Structure 1
C-alpha cells in the first residue's frame, strides 16, 4: 500500500508540474518581452517529450519545430491521439519542411495537449504562433500600365507584429494578377485565366523595405500587365500561410507619352520630352530623371521638373557628343494623378541610339544612281534571259509537235494501205465464160 501511495503521489506531482509548465508557457506568450529573445506574437517552450498545449480560443496556430540535421519530419499527435504526417494530413493543415525544420500551420486546431515525435533538437525550443493574420494595404482601384508602386503587407500574431525571423524568411509572400472573368469558379480548369506573378514581398531591409525582420513585407510592384480588370491576390508560395487576400483593380493605359529627338548637329542637344495625358495627370506635376551613358562609358545625370503650374510636359536636354558609337539612357518620370492626388512613378527601360559618320549627300546620291543603273541592267539581263528561254521552249514544243504529227500521219497512212490491201485480197477474180460454137 505504501508503494502504491508513493506512486500516486509521483503521478500527481508530474501532472501538477506539466500543468504549471503549460500555463507558464501560455502566460509568457502574452507578456511583452525583448524582441531579440521572444515577442508578444509567439510563445517558445521546451517541455517534457516535446508536448505543448493549445487553448480553445485559438482559431489558427503554427508550430515551428527544429530538428536534427538531415532528420525526417516530425509526427504531430493531436490530443485525441490522431497523428499528422508530412505527406499525410487533412485539408486544414499546411506543412513546410526543410532538413532541420518543420513549419506546420493548422486551421481550427483541437484544444488540448499536442506532441511532436521526432528528432527535435533539445537546444532549440518549439515555437507556437497563434492567431496569425495577414493584412495588406489596399491597392488603388485605378492603376496605370508601366507604373511602379510600393506595396506592403504585415504579419501579426495576437495583434502584435510577428518577428520570428526563421518563420519570416520562409513565408515567401507573392503578388499575382489574374484577368477578371465573371463566374470564374464555374469554368473548367483549362478555361480559367492563368495568374501572372508580378512581385515577391521581402522583409530584408533592402530596396523599398524599411527595416529587416519587423514583420512588414514590402514589394516594389511593377504594373506590367496590359490594361484591363484584374484580381490581385497575395498568397504564400510555400503554403505556410493558408489564407490569401484578394482585391479587384483596373489597369489603365500609361498616361505619360515619351518622345526622343536625336540631334545630328554638334551644337544642338538631344531632347527627351514627357507629355502627360489631359484629365489623368495633374498639370505642373511632371518631373523626370535620366541617366545617360555615352559611347566612352561616361555617365551623366539630367533631371528637370515642370516649372509652370499649368504645364503638361517637361523636356530634358542631353548634351550632344560627336563620338561615333552606341549611347544609352534610362531613368524615371514622376507625376500626380489628377483625380486622387496619388503620386505616380514610372521607371524608364533602357533606350539606345547610335552616332554615325556624317553623310555625304552628293556621294550618296551618286552611289544610289549607280546602284539603280546596275539594278536596271540586272533586270534587263533577266528579261533577255527569260525571253530566250521562252523562244527556246517554244521551238522545242514546235519540233516535238511536228514529230508527233509526222509519226501519227505515217501510222495513219500505214493503216490505210493495209486496209486497202486487205480488201483486194478478199474479192475473187471474175471468170468470164465464152460460149462454145456449135
Structure 2
C-alpha cells in the first residue's frame, strides 16, 4: 500500500490555518505578511524577462537568495519567474526585492494533497498500465496552471533491499525511472490542467520485488510516495512461424500461462507492414472459453524485402480479474529468393576444393620454407666450424713458431790442439 504521509508540494502553499479556503493576495510594494499559524508558504513572483531572481528579505532583515538559502527554503526559477516555498516561515512582514512585474501575487492553498492509484501488488514484466495521480486542495482539484505546468512527477522502481536506509549510499540499489506524469491532455491524460496527472507506465524491470516511488524530478515534492510490488515474468509467450509457400500464411501464436491467465480471455491485435510500406491490421481472440491460445494469420507475399509487425496482446489475470495489456515491440522478417539446392551444393563443393587447394599450397610453401631455413642453418654452422678450425690452426702454428724461436742455436766447440 502507498504510504501517503506527505502530499506537501515544495513549490506550492500549504497552510494549516486555512482549513476550508484558498486565498490570493497581490503584493503591495512587493511586501507581504506571514501569519504566525502558517506552517508552510509558497508564492510565485513574476519579474521582468531575463532579470535576475529576486532577493527575499525576512522580517528580521536576513536575506535569502536563489543560490544561497537555508534547507527549509526551496527555490524554483525561470527567466521571468520565481516560485519559492518556505517551511516554518518567520511570522511578520516579508519583502521581495527585484524587477517585479504587476502580475506578482501570492496564493495560499489549504489542505494540499497528492493522491495516486494503488498499484497491484502483482505486476507482470512487459505489461503497460494507466497510472494516475491527483493534486487537490480541500479535496477539490487544484487548477493553478502556473504550478501544474511546472510539476514534474516521475515513477521509479528500486530493487527491494531490507533496511535500505542503513546502507551506505554506494551500496544502495539504483532507482530505475520508468515513467513521468503529465497533465497535458496528451496520450492517456484525459484533460489538460485539471490537476490529474496520467502516465503510461511500462513495467520494464526484471522479475523481482521492488519499492515503487512517486518523486519530483525538480524538487517540488518534499517527500515521496512509496509502495512495494512484485514483478512476475510475462505470462504470455509469443511464437512467429514464417511461411515459405505462397498458399500458406505466416502465423503469430499467443499462448497464456496456465494459472496466471484466465482461460478464454486472450486477445491480440497486430499491424503488419509489407515490403512496399502497406500496413494492414490483423486481430483475433481466443476461440473458446477454455482456450489459452490465439492464432493470427498474416497473408503471405512473395515480394522480396523486409517486413515488420507490432501490436498489443490483451488478457485477464486469473484470480484478481485484472485486465492486462502487453505492447508488442516491433518484429521484423525478410523474404528472399528461393534457394537452388543443386547450385548451392555445386558452389559449396567448388569452394571446398578451392580451400583444399589453398591449404595444400600453403603446406608445400611451409615445407619449402622449413627446408630453406634448415639448409641456411647448416651452411651457417659449417662456416662457423671452418672459421673456428682456421683460428685453432693459426693459433697452434703461431705457438710452434714462437717455441722454435726461443731455443738458442747450439755452438759446436772444436778441441784445441
Structure-2-length-normalised TM-score: 0.88
For 1:136 and 1:410, the matched residues in 2 are separated by: 104
Say whether 1:200 aligns with 2:180.
Answer: yes
8 A Cα contact 1:174 1:200, kept in partner: yes
Q: List aligned pairs for 1:163-174, cutoff 5 A.
A: 163-174=143-154
Alpha carbons of 1:57 and 1:427: their partners in 2 closer, same or farther (altered >3 Å)?
Answer: same
TM-align CA RMSD: 2.5
For 1:277 and 1:71, the matched residues in 2 are separated by: 61
Alpha carbons of 1:60 and 1:154: their partners in 2 closer, same or farther (altered >3 Å)?
Answer: farther
SS in 1 for 2:332: strand
For 1:418 and 1:437, the matched residues in 2 are separated by: 41
Q: List aligned pairs for 1:139-154, cutoff 5 A.
A: 139-154=119-134
- Structure 1 equivalent of residue 344 of structure 2: 364
- Structure 1 equivalent of residue 259 of structure 2: 279
Say whether 1:155 aligns with 2:135.
Answer: yes
**1:116 pairs with one of 77, 89, 96:** 96
Alpha carbons of 1:343 and 1:427: their partners in 2 closer, same or farther (altered >3 Å)?
Answer: farther
- Structure 2 equivalent of residue 44 of structure 1: 24
8 A Cα contact 1:73 1:102, kept in partner: yes
- Structure 1 equivalent of residue 108 of structure 2: 128
Say whether 1:391 aligns with 2:371.
Answer: yes
SS in 2 for 1:413: helix
**1:73 pairs with one of 53, 61, 72:** 53
Alpha carbons of 1:272 and 1:299: their partners in 2 closer, same or farther (altered >3 Å)?
Answer: same
For 1:128 and 1:81, the matched residues in 2 are separated by: 23
- Structure 2 equivalent of residue 237 of structure 1: 217
For 2:201 and 2:71, the matched residues in 1 are separated by: 31
347-356 or 187-196, larger mean C-alpha shift = 187-196
8 A Cα contact 2:154 2:217, kept in partner: yes
- Structure 1 equivalent of residue 11 of structure 2: none
Say whether 1:63 aligns with 2:63.
Answer: no
**1:420 pairs with one of 394, 400, 406:** 400
CA apart distance, 1:237 = 1.6
- Structure 1 equivalent of residue 4 of structure 2: none
Equivalent pairs, count: 401
For 2:111 and 2:55, the matched residues in 1 are separated by: 23
140-149 or 364-373, larger mean C-alpha shift = 140-149
**1:405 pairs with one of 385, 398, 405:** 385
97-106 or 134-143, larger mean C-alpha shift = 134-143
For 1:300 and 1:341, the matched residues in 2 are separated by: 31
- Structure 1 equivalent of residue 303 of structure 2: 323
SS in 2 for 1:49: coil
SS in 2 for 1:408: helix
Contiguous gaps of at least 5 residues in structure 1: 1-25, 32-39
CA apart distance, 1:59 = 3.2
Q: List aligned pairs for 1:297-376, cutoff 5 A.
A: 297-376=277-356
8 A Cα contact 2:46 2:103, kept in partner: no
294-303 or 152-161, larger mean C-alpha shift = 152-161
Q: List aligned pairs for 1:211-290, cutoff 5 A.
A: 211-290=191-270
- Structure 2 equivalent of residue 37 of structure 1: none
Alpha carbons of 1:423 and 1:171: their partners in 2 closer, same or farther (altered >3 Å)?
Answer: same
84-93 or 175-184, larger mean C-alpha shift = 175-184
Cα deviation per residue 1:201-252 (whole Å; 9 max; x = unaligned)? 0001111111211111111111222233333222222223322222233323
Alpha carbons of 1:57 and 1:282: their partners in 2 closer, same or farther (altered >3 Å)?
Answer: farther
For 2:66 and 2:138, the matched residues in 1 are separated by: 26
Structure-1-length-normalised TM-score: 0.84
SS in 2 for 1:378: helix
8 A Cα contact 1:290 1:330, kept in partner: yes
8 A Cα contact 2:58 2:93, kept in partner: yes
8 A Cα contact 2:260 2:318, kept in partner: yes
Of structures 1 and 2, the one scoring higher in RCO (CA 8 A, sep 6+) is 2
Contiguous gaps of at least 5 residues in structure 2: 1-14
8 A Cα contact 1:44 1:125, kept in partner: yes
8 A Cα contact 1:64 1:128, kept in partner: no
395-404 or 303-312, larger mean C-alpha shift = 303-312
